[in-house]
Every structure is written in structure tokens, then in C-alpha cells.
Amino acid sequence: MDVKRVKDYLYWLYYQYQLVTCSYVLEPWEQSMFHTITVTVLAMVVYTAYVFVPIHVRLALEFFSQIFGPQPESTV
């Protein structure tokens, strides 16, 4: 893939992000604070999902396996 096209695409994504969040109207120091807070919150959400979602899925599978019991094996 062409490096210029990738660079243009990333710039377009960043522009879309600025349009959606309306951060283009902020002053530079406000933009940096806004981006820092946004990245921090996003990182905390990803970390929390990485740590706690597998635990809850495992517990849900154990719960439903206790409710429905072991499945009989096929004799064929």
C-alpha cells in the first residue's frame, strides 16, 4: 500500500474524530487536555474489558453448565 495514501487516510480519520467530538473549535491547550482525557478513559475501558470480561464469561459458562448438567455421551 502506498505510504501517502495511508497517511491521507489517517489524517482523514483524525479529521472525522475532530468533527464528531467538535474538538476543532477548542484552543490548543484545551485540545491537548481533551485528547488526554479521552485516551485515558479509552485505555481504562479497554483494560477493564481485558481483565474482567473473561472472568464473567467463565463464571457464566460454569453457571449454565451446572443448570443444564453434563450432556450424555453418544453411544454410537
Specify the number of domains making up the chain: 1
Q: What average pLDDT does the segment 59-63 reach?
A: 91
Q: How far apart are CA 68 and CA 40, in angstroms?
A: 42
26: domain range?
Answer: 3-66
Assigned domain for 76 exists:
no
For 4-18, how does the pLDDT look when each residue is reduced to its tens digit (9 = 90+)? 999 999 999 999 999
Assigned domain for 41 exists:
yes
Higher-pLDDT residue of 26 and 75 is 26
Assigned domain for 7 exists:
yes
Assigned domain for 18 exists:
yes
* Region of residue 43 (phi > 0: left; psi between -120 and 50: alpha; otherwise: beta): alpha
Assigned domain for 31 exists:
yes
